[in-house]
C-alpha cells in the first residue's frame, strides 16, 4: 500500500513508490495523495475571477462571468478601462446594456485590484514579430502580473492562442518565479482556448462549445465546471493542456490552408480567363464540397496562428511545408489584387503617377472595426509603390488607430467623380448597400472598379478575385 509523503517537486504527487526508485507522476497514480501539502482549489461558488486583458476576447468573457461571480476585468490600458466603466466598448462586441448587466464586474488598470482573486484568466494577444516569429511578450507580462497576485490554492487559466507546450514551458515558470509558489502544489493551471469571432452577432461566447483542460485532474474538473456556468453550448474536457493548445492552433490552420487552396485556384483560373466563383458555385453542388472562397486572410487568428505551430515544429526539427506554403499564398493576395488593378488601369492608358485610387474598407473583415493584421494594407502599399495616390475610407474603423497602426489617414467623405480606380476591399453593409452604380460614381469616367469580396454583381465590375 503506498504511503503519503512530502511532495518531491511540482508536477508530482507525494506518494512514495514501494519499489526502489522514488515517486510516480500524478497521471499514473490511483493511490493516496499528499493532501496535507497540496493547496486545495476553491469550490466554484467561491470563485473570485480576474480576467487579464479586456480586448475582443477578454471583455465578453469578463462580462459573462461578471453576471454570476465577483469579477475584476484588468487591462493595462487606462483609457480602455475608463471607456468600459462608462459603459462603452469601441470594439462593439458588448453593448452598453450588456456592460450594465454585469453587476458583479469591476474594471481596473491597477494591479492592486487583483488582490483576493483566486481564478486568473489570461486573454492577452499573442502576435508575431516582423520575422513571423511568436511574440510572447504580452503573455509573459500577463504571467508576471498573475504571479504578483496569485496565492496558495489559486489557478491561472490561459485562453491566448499558443503552440503546444507554451503554457507549461513559458508561462508557468514565470508565475512560479514571481509568486514564489510551486506549480501543482501551491497553485494550478488550465488552458481553455478562446473561440471568439469578432463582428459575428450569431456565434457568441456562450453559444460556442468550449474546450477546457487542467494541470491535474482536479484542476481540469474545476476549469470545466467553471466555464460550464456560462457556456450554454457545453464544454469538451481535453486530456491535457498540450492537447487543448494544439486543438486551438489547428482550428485556424485548417481554415488558412483551405483558403490558400482556393486563392491558388483563383490565381490559376484568372490566367485561364475562367470566373472562379462560377467554378466554385458549380463544384458546390456536390454535397461534400467545402464552401471556401478566395480573399484576403487577415485578423489576429487565421493569419497569425499558423506561425505559432510552425515555430514549434522547427524547434523539433520539422519543416511544415504545407502550412507555410498556405501562408505564402495568402500573404501574397493583397499585392496580387493591387497588381491586377494597376494592369486594368494601364490598359485604359491611365498614368499611374497621376492616378488616384480609393480603397473602400481597411478592417480585416466586414462589419467589424478590428484592424489587427489586416491585409488590406498590402493593397495600399503595393499601389503606392507604383506612385499612385491612395485614399482609404472605412466608417467602421477608428481614424486614430488607423494612423497609429499603419500610418493611414482615413478620409471621411470620398469625393464623387474623383478617382481613377475604386477597390471594394471589405464588404461592410454600408458599401454593399451603395451598390455598383453609386460606388462607380466615386470614380471619374472610365474608372476601374475592382471587387475583392465579390459583393457586387460580376457584370457591374471590371475585376474581382
C-alpha R_g of the chain: 25
Helix axes 241-271 and 321-331, enclosed angle (nearest 10): 50
Is the domain covering 332-464 a CATH 3.40.50.2300 domain? no
Catalytic residues: 301
Q: Where are the domains of the chain?
A: 1-30, 44-242, 250-329, 332-464
Dmax over CA atoms of the chain, in Å, equals: 90
Domain covering 44-242 in this structure, CATH number: 3.40.50.720
Residues of the chain with pLDDT under 70: 1-36
The H or E element spanning position 234 is: none
Q: CATH assignment of 250-329?
A: 1.10.1040.10
Residue 144 buriedness (CB in 10 A; 0-12 / 13-18 / 19+):
middle
- Helix segments in 348-392, DSSP class H: 376-385
User: Which pLDDT does position 36 carry in this prediction?
Assistant: 56
Residue 202's pLDDT is what? Answer: 82
Domains 250-329 and 332-464 share a fold: no
Q: What DSSP string runs through 3-54?
A: EE----STTEEEEE-SSTT-EEEGGG--S---TTTSPPPPPGGG--EEEE--
Q: What is the pLDDT of residue 196?
A: 85
DSSP H or E run through 312 = helix 305-315
Count Cβ atoms below 10 Å from residue 6 Cβ, excluding itself: 11
- pLDDT (0 to 100) of residue 201: 80
17: Cβ contacts below 8 Å, ≥ 6 apart: 2, 23, 24
List all residues 6 or more positions away from 287 whose beta carbon is below 8 Å from its beta carbon: none
Q: Which residues contact 273 (CB under 8 A, 6 or more apart)?
A: none
Q: Is 120 helix (H, G, I), strand (E, B) or coil?
A: strand
Q: What is the dihedral of CA 231, 128, 139, 107, to 10 degrees?
A: -60
Amino acid at each position: 500500500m503506498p504511503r503519503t509523503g512530502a511532495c518531491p517537486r511540482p508536477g508530482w504527487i507525494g506518494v512514495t513508490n514501494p519499489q526502489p526508485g522514488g515517486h510516480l507522476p500524478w497521471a499514473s497514480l490511483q493511490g493516496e495523495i499528499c493532501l496535507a501539502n497540496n493547496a486545495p482549489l476553491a469550490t466554484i461558488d467561491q470563485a473570485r475571477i480576474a480576467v487579464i486583458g479586456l480586448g475582443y476576447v477578454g471583455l465578453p468573457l469578463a462580462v459573462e462571468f461578471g453576471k454570476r461571480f465577483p469579477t475584476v476585468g484588468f487591462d493595462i490600458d487606462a483609457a480602455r478601462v475608463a471607456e468600459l466603466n462608462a459603459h462603452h466598448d469601441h470594439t462593439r462586441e458588448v453593448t452598453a446594456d450588456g456592460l450594465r448587466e454585469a453587476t458583479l464586474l469591476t474594471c481596473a488598470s491597477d494591479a492592486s485590484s487583483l488582490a483576493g482573486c483566486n481564478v486568473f484568466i489570461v486573454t492577452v494577444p499573442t502576435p508575431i514579430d516582423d520575422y513571423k516569429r511568436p511574440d510572447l511578450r504580452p503573455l509573459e507580462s500577463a504571467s508576471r502580473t498573475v504571479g504578483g497576485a496569485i496565492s496558495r490554492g489559486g489557478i491561472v487559466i490561459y485562453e491566448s492562442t499558443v503552440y503546444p507546450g507554451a503554457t507549461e514551458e513559458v508561462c508557468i515558470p514565470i508565475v512560479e518565479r514571481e509568486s514564489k509558489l510551486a506549480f501543482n502544489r501551491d497553485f494550478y493551471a488550465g488552458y481553455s482556448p478562446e473561440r471568439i469571432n469578432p463582428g459575428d452577432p450569431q456565434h457568441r461566447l456562450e453559444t460556442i462549445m468550449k474546450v477546457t483542460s487542467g494541470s491535474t485532474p482536479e484542476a481540469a474538473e474545476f476549469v470545466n465546471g467553471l466555464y460550464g456556468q456560462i457556456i450554454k453550448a457545453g464544454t469538451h474536457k481535453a486530456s491535457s493542456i498540450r492537447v487543448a493548445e494544439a486543438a486551438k492552433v489547428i482550428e485556424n490552420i485548417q481554415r488558412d490552408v483551405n483558403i490558400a487552396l482556393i486563392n491558388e485556384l483563383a490565381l490559376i483560373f484568372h490566367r485561364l480567363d475562367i470566373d472562379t466563383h462560377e467554378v466554385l458555385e458549380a463544384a458546390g453542388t456536390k454535397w461534400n464540397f467545402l464552401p471556401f472562397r478566395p480573399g484576403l486572410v487577415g485578423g489576429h487568428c487565421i493569419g497569425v496562428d499558423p506561425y505559432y505551430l510552425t515555430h514549434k515544429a522547427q524547434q523539433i526539427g520539422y519543416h511544415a511545408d504545407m502550412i507555410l506554403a498556405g501562408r505564402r499564398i495568402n500573404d501574397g493576395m493583397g499585392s496580387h489584387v493591387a497588381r491586377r488593378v494597376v494592369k486594368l488601369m494601364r490598359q485604359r492608358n491611365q498614368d499611374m503617377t497621376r492616378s488616384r485610387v480609393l480603397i473602400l474598407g481597411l478592417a480585416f473583415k466586414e462589419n467589424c472595426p478590428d484592424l489587427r493584421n489586416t491585409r488590406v494594407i498590402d493593397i495600399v502599399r503595393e499601389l503606392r509603390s507604383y506612385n499612385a495616390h491612395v485614399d482609404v475610407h472605412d466608417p467602421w474603423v477608428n481614424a486614430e488607430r488607423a494612423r497609429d497602426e499603419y500610418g493611414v489617414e482615413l478620409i471621411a467623405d470620398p469625393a464623387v467623380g474623383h478617382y481613377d480606380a475604386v477597390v471594394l476591399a471589405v464588404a461592410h453593409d454600408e458599401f454593399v448597400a451603395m451598390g455598383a452604380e453609386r460606388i462607380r460614381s466615386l470614380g471619374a469616367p472610365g474608372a476601374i472598379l475592382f471587387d475583392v469580396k465579390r459583393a457586387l454583381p460580376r457584370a457591374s465590375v471590371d475585376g474581382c478575385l
